[in-house]
């Protein structure tokens, strides 16, 4: 995703001289081309995220489209009040880009686990929260956030993720992409869990459960139209995210369902427990150990659906 972001950003910068990149002294090996080609639109603010974010707001209020860039929680939580007051309150045209969303830096320890970001950023007025599912979505998301006049948070995974989309996509902020059809259940994923969602859907298909997969690349605003169709047409909804189960995609979908459905919906969130991980490991290891491998998701979905079916059967008796 990181490579896709930078190639899209370079293209944007070439076409639009308002596009600026401000980094917090991170991005070795990836920021150099932008710095070389657009030296007057590049800035390394140093290891000072509060100032970096305030500067970005000041630049945006002077007519620029400013991408701030750092890793994990640094460009959002370290400077959360600057994000809230300086960027969001002023509706400043700042795009906050964090590489290492979720457990991409799993081995680096809990300080580098960005696992509450969607929940926190989603609660800020004006903020668009975007977590693309693969490099193809990342390209589209980069262009889309640049075109949107206002604050955006772009949560990226790491470098080298596989492409999930095989064909070109029409990326629209706030509009989920249907990855595969299904009538028995819907699995909604955000960010880099998309590949797992597709694997899980394949396994479920083998077990006779036709599962719709939605890539919910925009967590705010949430595509409630797609969720509504999913409930109406498939009856069971599951969310999948590399994020705490508190307040992220699953939380957002739960809020919507609780307020808009008078009949029970079969629903479960797949995500991380709201606790600091007491072990470290690679992203794949961490996902698997937290029950986010495709097989575990499949087991969880089947168990939930079977329970719901037996309850329905009991109710009929």
Buried b (16+ CB within 10 A) or exposed e, 286-312: bbeebebbbebbbebbeebbeebeeee
Element (H, E) at 99: strand 94-99
CB of residue 12 to other proteins, shortest distance in Å:
18
Closest C-alpha to 280, from 113, 122, 45, 154: 113
CB of residue 22 to other proteins, shortest distance in Å:
9
Closest C-alpha to 124, from 74, 72, 89, 90: 89
Which CB, 30 or 48, lies closer to other proteins?
48
Which CB, 43 or 292, lies closer to other proteins?
43
Which CB, 40 or 167, lies closer to other proteins?
40
CB of residue 125 to other proteins, shortest distance in Å:
12
CB of residue 20 to other proteins, shortest distance in Å:
9
Which CB, 57 or 214, lies closer to other proteins?
57
Which CB, 46 or 221, lies closer to other proteins?
46
DSSP letter assigned to residue 39: G
Binding site for other proteins (CB under 8 A): 40, 43, 45-46, 48, 50-51, 53-64, 81-82, 85-86, 89-90
**Is the distance from CB of 157 to CB of 25 less than 8 angstroms?**
no
The DSSP-derived string for 185-205 is: EEEEE-GGGHHHHHHHHHHHH
CB of residue 89 to other proteins, shortest distance in Å:
6
Those residues with Cβ within 8 angstroms of residue 14's Cβ, 6 or more apart along the chain or in another chain: 37
Which CB, 75 or 133, lies closer to other proteins?
75
CB of residue 59 to other proteins, shortest distance in Å:
4
Looking up tokens 């999913």, which residue turns up? 230
CB of residue 51 to other proteins, shortest distance in Å:
4
Which CB, 62 or 167, lies closer to other proteins?
62
Those residues with Cβ within 8 angstroms of residue 32's Cβ, 6 or more apart along the chain or in another chain: none
Which CB, 85 or 310, lies closer to other proteins?
85
**Is residue 114 classed as helix, strand or coil in its secondary structure?**
strand
CB of residue 15 to other proteins, shortest distance in Å:
19
Going edge to edge, which strands form the sheet with 185-189?
A: 177-180, 211-215, 185-189, 236-244, 266-272
**Is the distance from CB of 43 to CB of 71 less than 8 angstroms?**
no
């Amino acid at each position: 995703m990181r490579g896709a972001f930078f190639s899209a950003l370079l293209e944007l910068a070439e076409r639009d001289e308002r596009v600026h990149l401000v980094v917090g002294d991170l991005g070795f090996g990836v920021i150099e081309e932008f710095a070389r080609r657009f030296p007057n639109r590049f800035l390394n603010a140093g290891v000072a995220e509060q100032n970096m974010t305030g500067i970005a707001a000041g630049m945006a209020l002077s007519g620029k489209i400013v991408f701030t860039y750092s890793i994990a929680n640094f460009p959002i939580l370290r400077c959360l009040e600057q994000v809230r007051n300086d960027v969001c309150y002023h509706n400043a045209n700042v795009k906050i880009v964090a590489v290492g969303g979720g457990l991409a830096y799993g081995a680096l320890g809990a300080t580098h686990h960005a696992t509450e970001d969607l929940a926190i950023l989603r609660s800020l007025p004006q903020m668009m929260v975007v977590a693309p599912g693969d490099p193809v979505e990342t390209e589209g998301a980069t262009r889309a956030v640049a075109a949107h006049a206002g604050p955006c948070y772009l949560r990226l995974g790491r470098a080298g993720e596989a492409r999930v989309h095989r064909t070109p996509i029409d990326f629209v902020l706030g509009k989920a992409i249907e990855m595969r059809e299904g009538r028995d259940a819907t699995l909604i994923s955000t960010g880099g869990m998309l590949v797992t969602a597709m694997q899980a859907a394949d396994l479920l298909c083998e077990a006779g459960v036709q599962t719709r997969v939605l890539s919910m690349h925009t967590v705010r605003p949430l595509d409630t139209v797609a969720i509504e169709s999913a409930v109406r047409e498939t009856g069971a909804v599951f969310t999948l995210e590399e994020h705490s189960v508190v307040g992220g995609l699953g939380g957002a979908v739960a809020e919507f369902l609780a307020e808009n459905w008078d009949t029970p919906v079969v629903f479960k969130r797949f995500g991380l427990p709201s606790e600091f991980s007491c072990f470290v490991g690679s992203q794949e290891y961490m996902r698997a150990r937290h029950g986010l491998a495709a097989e575990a998701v499949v087991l969880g979905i089947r168990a939930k659906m079977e329970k719901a079916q037996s309850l329905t059967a009991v109710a009929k008796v």
